A and B are shown apart, each in its own frame.
Chain A
Amino acid sequence: MSKAIVATTSLAGCFGCHMSLLDIDERILKLIELVEFNKSPIDDIKTFTKQCDVGLIEGGCCNSENVHVLKEFRKNCKILISVGECAIMGGLPAMRNNIPVEECIQEAYLDGPTVGNNTDKILPNDDELPMILDKVYPCHEIVKIDYHLPGCPPRADLLWEALVALLTGNELKLPYEVVKFD
């Protein structure tokens, strides 16, 4: 059997979910036996070079680039998984969703205490920059997501077991502690 191909990305996230993936420690060697990584920060492949089996998405979408990347993933991956709170629900970045985006930009670039001396009142509007969305969207509100792995971040064991279950066709056990944290 050929190896399954996995792609990963971090959108509006903190890379914590990727760090958690690295927390599978020595099992990463086993993982390499099971899968081949394509587009991912782990191997620094920037663009898809082939059709993938599994895409792991960390983070929701806060700007137009996130949306483009997510849509790319949907096109190139058979199975798409929202990994962690931000991908599933928007997470911390979505705290801005109750504030108009204009006010957020105003605070970040003009009024905020850490702004310094933006005396020319410059707002980032270069064509090269991603455009900010009106709010932060969870991934499933943009494209179809097949599975959700809960956690902030999902613990390494869960990521490991989920991948193994998916690749071996076995059922994933989701004990109470994995989905309930308090």
Chain B
Amino acid sequence: MRTTVKSIIEKYNNDKTRLMDILIDVQKEFGFIPDEAVEVIAEGCGLSKVDVNQTLSFYHFFTKKPVGEYAVYLNNSAVAEMKGFASVAKAFEEEAGCAFGEVTEDGKIGLHETACIGMSDQEPAAIINNVVFTNLTPAKVKEIVGQMKAGKDVKEMISAKGDGKNANELINAEVFNNIRKKGEVIFSDYEIGTALKKLGTMNPEEVIDEVKASYVRGRGGAGFPTGLKWEFCRKSEGTRYVLCNADEGEPGTFKERVILTEVPKLLFEGMAVCGYAIGSKVGILYLRYEYKYLEAYLENVLAEMRASNLLGKNIQGIEGFDFDVRIQFGGGAYVCGEESALIESAEGKRGEPRNRPPFPVQKGYMDSPTVVNNVETLCSIVKIMNKGSEWFTMMGSRESAGTKLLSISGDCKYPGVYEIEWGLRVRDMLEMVGAEDVQAVQVGGPSGVMIGPKDFKRTICFEDLPTGGSIMIFNNERKLIEDVVTNFTDFFIEESCGSCVPCRAITVLLRQRLQKIIDGNGVMSDIDELKDWAEKLKVANRCGLGQTAGAPVLTTIENFRDKYEALVQKDIDFDSGFDLEASVQASCAFVDRTPNL
């Protein structure tokens, strides 16, 4: 084993900043990361064992125990639950003969739950040994487990090939693009390399001016003006880096998966334009581990681009314009979508957000000036270069220029990816996707807002309802508090990095209080206290995850207070929910005694 691990480390030049890659390879090789491997890695990279362990313990897909020859990671997001998670999970347990969180005795099949895997429009979905299975049903599960027991290759187990490039032999996945509406920016026709050729006639400052004039803002959710970010970075001294954030972990988003499948060259060209503008030679695509099935395909795309001088040295004949991209995989952690956590992770460390300032444009990757841009943002740049900033500003709303990709899922006829102009009314959107009898819409994922019909006249744009792209629709049959708010809150508990106490502790307090209300032990003051606690999260945490972890509770109390009130007792003003009978049960059973209450 030591030699295998050693050769993996050597592949990455014993570089401790490539610890993520090393751990990914070791995990893949052994199905877990044994203590002995940790020792070898620490020795080889000049780290302590604690350093290695703290990185590996941070990520969901790195484990110190075997995950099973076939490691099933079934998504437990709110949308998955709506689409039949429970029956699919039960089928897995019955067929495999072990519970979730366990591995079968022979070590063959391991069942694990995982957060949103970016397949919300085709749930329930699972990843088994990096192969994606979508639209699962108990019958389908039975077949899959049967094949696992027979020792079949996972790649041969998929029942259908997806649409578009999902059927490409390098992807070959049972994943569907479901592109329902193509817009003028991301999915419009264009000639690859046009933007890069144009750079020959422009100096970097002119490129930045053009981006600034387009008013394009970050598509990841925060909406920072991209041109300004580039300018700040260019003005900072040092080796500069372009990082593309493709961590899309916000439950309900999957648009970046579709971009990476259908138009990856658009993205890489955008990264190169950014490289030219800020004076960087190195680009890193930080890709969430859940999309590992795209690796071979994307590496091939990069090779093709190098071959046609769209990446590499003196790109498109522009003297001194060198730029290349490497792919950095994550290890399963939502918080790594936060830019400073993403940088930490790309450096091989725990994905804990940094204190800011300094901002990444001043001190980012390797403490050097770094632009971190979302996939969709960088794609938009290429079209802005091709067609001009004025063309771009003609689309969208007052403060939100251009188009936006929405990943729409939940209770609607046509879930999938829609490229819309900013400023679309929620009501029009619901009509577009064939959603009827709508009770609530979650705009911007769990960290966004949940709105009800009275807000359906509002518009999707930075100045009204901003979103990184996640839209989940709930019809009138859904139980918002019992099924959705609890699911979102569980998600934040699981994904909190634990660094800030309020984020680590208050999320759990919220969950307990929600359960108390759901169990029928709630009183009116519980609703106000929930609100109080959730509001404290906004001001007492370092990063966006912690600050928005109370959003599901807060926005539902604001917009659906009646649902909470319907669940609480109104005739009393205090109920602790303490259950004496339940709390003495364990000890009485152990000492062989009948409880006398």
Known: A64-B597, A127-B596. A134 touches B580 (CB 8 A): no
B578 and A132 form a contact (CB under 8 A)? no
A64 lies within 8 A of B584 (CB)? yes
Q: Which of B216-224, B463-471, B472-480, B585-593 has 4 or more CB atoms under 8 Å from chain A? A: B585-593
Establish whether residues B580 and A127, one from each chain, have CB atoms under 8 Å apart when the complex forms: no
Cα distance, A31 to B576, chains bound together (Å): 33
28 A-B pairs in the complex with CB atoms less than 8 angstroms apart:
A64-B584, A67-B578, A67-B580, A101-B586, A101-B590, A102-B586, A102-B590, A105-B587, A105-B591, A106-B590, A123-B591, A125-B588, A125-B591, A125-B592, A125-B593, A127-B593, A131-B587, A131-B588, A131-B595, A131-B596, A133-B583, A133-B587, A134-B582, A134-B584, A134-B587, A137-B578, A143-B574, A143-B576
Min CB distance, B593 to chain A, in Å? 4
When the two chains form their complex, are residues A64 and B590 in contact, meaning their CB atoms are under 8 A apart? no
* Chain B residues, CB < 8 A from A134: 582-587
A41 at the interface (CB under 8 A from B): no
Q: Which residues of B contact A (CB under 8 A)?
A: 574, 576, 578, 580, 582-588, 590-593, 595-597
| Given A67-B578, A125-B591, A127-B596, 16 other A-B residues pairs in contact with their CB atoms under 8 A | A64-B584, A101-B587, A102-B586, A102-B587, A105-B590, A123-B592, A131-B584, A131-B593, A131-B596, A133-B584, A133-B587, A137-B583, A140-B576, A141-B576, A141-B578, A143-B574
At the interface, yes or no: A3 with Cβ under 8 Å from chain B?
no
CB distance from B584 to the nearest CB of A (A): 4
Interchain CB contact under 8 A, A123 and B590:
yes
Give the CA-CA distance A3 to B585 in the complex, in Å. 43
Say whether B578 contacts A142, CB under 8 Å. yes
- Secondary structure of the B side of the interface? helix
Decide yes or no whether A112 CB sits under 8 A from chain B: no
Contacts of A116 in B (CB 8 A): none
Residues of A within 8 A of B580 (CB): 64, 67
In the A-B complex, the 4 residue pairs with the smallest Cβ-Cβ separation, listed nearest first, are A125-B593, A132-B587, A131-B584, A123-B591
Give CA–CA (A43, B595) in the complex, Å: 33
CA distance A150 to B90 in the complex (A): 48
Q: Is the interface of A mostly helix, strand, loop or mixed?
A: mixed
Per the bound structure, the CA–CA distance linking A124 and B586 in Å amounts to 14
Residues of A within 8 A of B591 (CB): 105, 123-125
Complex Cα–Cα for A54 and B583 (A): 28
A-side contacts of B597, CB under 8 Å: 64
CA gap between A143 and B576 in the complex, in Å: 6
Q: Determine the distance from Cα of A39 to Cα of B582 in the docked complex, in whole angstroms.
A: 29
Tell me the minimal C-beta distance from A140 to chain B in angstroms: 7
Give CA–CA (A27, B574) in the complex, Å: 36
Interface string of A93-116 (1 = CB under 8 A from B): 000000011100110000000000
Please report the C-alpha to C-alpha distance between residue A36 and residue B587 in the assembled complex, in whole angstroms: 39
Q: Distance in Å from the Cβ of A147 to the closest Cβ of chain B?
A: 15
Q: Does A78 contact B (CB under 8 A)?
A: no
> A106 to chain B: which residues have CB within 8 Å?
590
Does A75 have its Cβ within 8 Å of any Cβ on chain B?
A: no
| Distance A142 CA – B521 CA, assembled complex (angstroms) | 12
B578, B591, B592, B593, most chain A CB atoms within 10 A? B591
Shortest distance between the CB of B197 and any CB in chain A (Å): 64
Within 8 A of B (CB), among A13-70: 64, 67
A64 CA to B596 CA in the complex, in Å?
Answer: 10
For B586, what are the chain A residues with a Cβ–Cβ distance below 8 Å?
Answer: 100-102, 134
Residues of B within 8 A of A131 (CB): 584, 587-588, 593, 595-596
Chain B residue numbers with a CB within 8 Å of A105 are 587, 590-591
A132/B576 contact (C-beta < 8 A), A64-B597, A123-B590 known? no
Contacts of A143 in B (CB 8 A): 574, 576
Residues of B with C-beta under 8 A to A135: 583
Chain B residues with CB under 8 A of A101: 586-587, 590
CA distance A124 to B597 in the complex (A): 17
Q: What chain B residues lie within 8 Å of A102 (beta carbons)? A: 586-587, 590
Give the Cβ gap from A66 to chain B, nearest Cβ, in Å.
11
Most buried by A among B585, B588, B590: B590
- Report the separation of the CA atoms of residues A132 and B578 in the bound assembly, to the nearest whole angstrom: 15
CB distance from B267 to the nearest CB of A (A): 48
In whole angstroms, how far apart are the Cα atoms of A143 and B590 in the complex?
A: 27
Cα distance, A123 to B597, chains bound together (Å): 19
Q: Would you list which residues of chain A between 123 and 157 have a CB under 8 Å from chain B?
A: 123-125, 127, 131-135, 137, 140-144
